[in-house]
Each structure stands twice: as structure tokens, then as C-alpha cells.
């Protein structure tokens, strides 16, 4: 049996452009792993089985896709131990899928090339290729075009998942974005985003990146009032994060905001 940790991510800034011909939107975002993660295990089996998380569809799809690409039967048993909140904007499903692809590839007699894995990952979802890489990445295009970025990691992340929040589908979030006239010309804003990224040297410099175009939350303002040098919604939400220099300030914010939902204090994962 082989094992992998499937880490969550946060989006540090998210710019969204027009709808592409392939049905996805043009985006620019910084993707950073954090040390909150699911555990994925995989072993040979008589037939495909995914255990531990009844709601899974993407790990099964990942294993079926790599089996087709490799010309083999998907004879594996996967087990998912969930710790990342479900449908939270933290990329848990995408990370699980990437971990499953990597584990299955390692069990193949003739493993697929890196480029082939990336293509399979992209077909599963625009976030999935990121989780095949290490370190922070600048994601462009539909989110699957990736460039490694050296980011400061000496800070603490407070995650707030509001109680009773029901996440609508990511597609519905983007549809609402289009309906309110989002997607202004991306080129100039992308250039500004890149300039900020190029100047990053201290954790607090991350505060200069623009906020999430898709969704916002009043909880971000509360986190900033508690000392966060950056606070925003991750992905399509509903999770809100705050970045803090000091652990004691992060712990205090997490305790206070426990009244509005589940809170988690995490750290960014370095390369």
C-alpha cells in the first residue's frame, strides 16, 4: 500500500477575465499549499474501490482516467481520510485527485510521463495540475498554466468556514460573476499582478495583491481588524482566510471567530 498527503490550498489574489471558448474563464491567481491535508492510500485490488468518503467522485474519475491512458484495468483500492472541509474553496477534491494520480502512476509497470499526467489532471479540473507540482505557483490561462514562484512562508493562516454556509457550485459562482458584468480586460490587471509578485520578499507584501474577483466576505474585514496583513475568500468560497505574522494573534483570531464557524490555524507548505 502506498500513501500520500493531499494538502489544501489558498488563492492569494484571484483575477477573473472573460469566458473562454472551452467554457472556462481566464484567470490569474497565486496558489499556495497549507499544511491542512487529507490522507490518500492506494493498493492493488481485484476491482476499483474508493473507501472512506462516500461523496467522492473525483478520485474514482482520476483512477479510471489514468487506467485508460495506461491501457490497464483500474484494479486499485483507494482510501480517503478527509480533513479538508468539503466544498470549501480549499481544493480538497482536486488535491485528492492529484494524489491518486501520482500513487497510481507509481504502481504502473510503465509509468506515464509527467506531461501525460498533467493532461489527465487538467481534464479532471483546472486546479488539479497545481497539486502535481511542488511549491507555490502562479496560475494563468484556465488555471492550469503554472509558473513556480518563490513566496515567503513565515506566517500563519487562519481559515474560517462559516457555519451554515452552503456553497453553490463553482460554475454557478462564475455564472453570477458574468451576470454582474465581471470579466473586465485582464491584460493590464495581470501585468500589475505580476509586478507585485516579482517584488514579494516579506510575508506582508502579499497584502498588496488584489482581492478575489469572484466573491467577497465581511469576515475578511474582521480578520484584518484582528491583525491579518491579508484576508480574503479562497477560490469560489465560502472559506475566508487571514494571514498573520504572529502565532498568538492567529490563535486569538481563530478563537474569537469560532462563534461564526469552524476555524483552523495552519501554516504554508514550503517547496
State the catalytic residues.
9, 127
Grid cell for residue 25:
474563464
Please name every residue paired with 10 in a beta bridge, in sequence order, or none if there are none. 32
Which class for 12: exposed (0-12), middle (13-18), buried (19 or more C-beta within 10 A)? Answer: buried
Q: Tell me how far apart the alpha carbons of residues 221 and 233 are, in angstroms, rounded to a whole number.
A: 11
Which class for 82: exposed (0-12), middle (13-18), buried (19 or more C-beta within 10 A)? Answer: middle
Amino acid at each position: 500500500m502506498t500513501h500520500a498527503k493531499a494538502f489544501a490550498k489558498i488563492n492569494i489574489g484571484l483575477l477573473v477575465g472573460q469566458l473562454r471558448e472551452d467554457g472556462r474563464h481566464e484567470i490569474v491567481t497565486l496558489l499556495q499549499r497549507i499544511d491542512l491535508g487529507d490522507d490518500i492510500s492506494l493498493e492493488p485490488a481485484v476491482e476499483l474501490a474508493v473507501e472512506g468518503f462516500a461523496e467522492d467522485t473525483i478520485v474514482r474519475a482520476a483512477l479510471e482516467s489514468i487506467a485508460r491512458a495506461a491501457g490497464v484495468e483500474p484494479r486499485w483500492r483507494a482510501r480517503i481520510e478527509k480533513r479538508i472541509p468539503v466544498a470549501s474553496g480549499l481544493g480538497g477534491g482536486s488535491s485528492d485527485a492529484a494524489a491518486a494520480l501520482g500513487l497510481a502512476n507509481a504502481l504502473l509497470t510503465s509509468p506515464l510521463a509527467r506531461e501525460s499526467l498533467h493532461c489527465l489532471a487538467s481534464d479532471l479540473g483546472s486546479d488539479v495540475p497545481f497539486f502535481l507540482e511542488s511549491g507555490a505557483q502562479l496560475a494563468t490561462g484556465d488555471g492550469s498554466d503554472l509558473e513556480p514562484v518563490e513566496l515567503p512562508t513565515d506566517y500563519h493562516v487562519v481559515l474560517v468556514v462559516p457555519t451554515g454556509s452552503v456553497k453553490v457550485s463553482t460554475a454557478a459562482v462564475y455564472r453570477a460573476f458574468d451576470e454582474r458584468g465581471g470579466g473586465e480586460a485582464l491584460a493590464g490587471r495581470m501585468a500589475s499582478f505580476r509586478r507585485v509578485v516579482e517584488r514579494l520578499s516579506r510575508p506582508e507584501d502579499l497584502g498588496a495583491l488584489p482581492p478575489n474577483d469572484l466573491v467577497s466576505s465581511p469576515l475578511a474585514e474582521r480578520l484584518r481588524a484582528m491583525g491579518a496583513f491579508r484576508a480574503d475568500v479562497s477560490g469560489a468560497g465560502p472559506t475566508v482566510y487571514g494571514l498573520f505574522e504572529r502565532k498568538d494573534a492567529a490563535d486569538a483570531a481563530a478563537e474569537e471567530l469560532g462563534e461564526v464557524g469552524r476555524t483552523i490555524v495552519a501554516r504554508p507548505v514550503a517547496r
